[in-house]
Structure 1
Amino acid sequence: MPAATPPNPQPPLGLDFKDASVLPLAPPKSFTSTLRHSSSRKTIYDRNLARPAATTSLPAFAHIFNTLITYNHAKSGSVAEIETRLNRAGYPLGIKLLDLLLHRQAGKAARPTRLLDLLQFIHTVLWRALFGRAADALEQSTTKKNEYMIVDNEPVVNTYISIPKEMSQLNCAAFVAGVVEGLCDAAGFRTEGVSAHWAEGGDELWPGKTIFLLRFGAGVVEREEGLKGGGG
């Protein structure tokens, strides 16, 4: 009898790259950076942190900030949501600004350890770094001991903003409120939130007057009272 023909061997499990419908993955391309360098081959990371950066032109800032507002407006369904998005955009800047400003003031200012020192730091150092001047006022709430207010009579972030009547409550300085909140949290003074509000009743002299309301957590207030009671 003729020998039995062995059955066709089964193909191994896995992909058959001989199949025209299955193509092997192409090897990854080598990464090529598209970062542009100046003629000196230096980047922003080569700059001296101790030296303040050059002043940004107001038209350039206004254009970029308007783009930020337009982007968040398109993704929001209410005034409150726009302000929340602007606040979240400014928050990480505040975290980074604390260390940067302290580094630039080496030997002149220490990290704030008391609440009043922190508020003075925001009122003067932070505002000068951002806007070239100190804020116009610093006040404490007469009803709630965890609330403080920083007043700016004419926030530059609202200078070229045109707000429609149906959104009159929108205050785009919520972006700056986010910066302040980030700095407070980074300094160890946890807040319940920092928000920007138009001055009640309006102000004939300063129609854009904005009040930044800082609400500190209960732990911050208790620590501050403990330091006062201990004579610290």
Structure 2
Amino acid sequence: FGTEPDDAGRQPVIPVTYMNSSAALKAFCGRNGGIVCTSSNAATVLQWAFERGQRVLFFPDQHLGRNTAKAMGVSLNEMPMWNPRKVLGGNSEQELVDSRVILWHGFCSVHKRFTVNQIEKARAEYPGVRVIVHPECPMPVVDAADEAGSTDYIRKAIAAAAPGGTFAVGTEINMVNRLAAEFPQHTIFCLDPVICPCSTMYRIHPGYLAWVLEGLVAGEVRNQIVVEADVAAHARVALERMLAAKP
């Protein structure tokens, strides 16, 4: 891409990483003029990055990056995938030069399971069902759904609906089960009937949190996580940029 800013002062590449990533990835963004995003503010963060960079390197979740950028008007031809196991990520030099968003070859194992066939089955079995999926789902699933949004968006949409609604939700099963318990006036079910809980998210379980807090009360620090000072400092920069970004 070259190493110099363009005539508008934009850097060649701005790295953007999803919140559910390591401190090291956040620090990489902090050191290189980049930023962190969540599924709720991904569009705001991408706009921030476009204002400062000629293109964005979005990682680790390709689907969140693709769906968000597509909704902002970026064409699929401007979003090449970067496979770290291939030369130039599996792209030509010109494809990278012409890109606006370079998508890292990563994905959420839970959200990747949702399919268009599941949506079609839900519509056949529940006429009038409202299908809401998370933007980490593959693009065809997001396109086939009625709506796509973060977990906060999904919850607010269901909370605001008139009683008696039917919702097919494409996200992590624990979230869907909590929604079904919180809003018994609706019929709420997961698009994938055999989906497994997210093993990574499940590491932060209320029982584990209680165990840590009980240890602190007893004067014992359990499972302490230590991040190197340099990594923490640069990761904090990327996080502070996100908090300062305005929609």
TM range (shorter): under 0.3
Larger Rg: 1
TM-score by length of 1: 0.24
More helix by share: 2
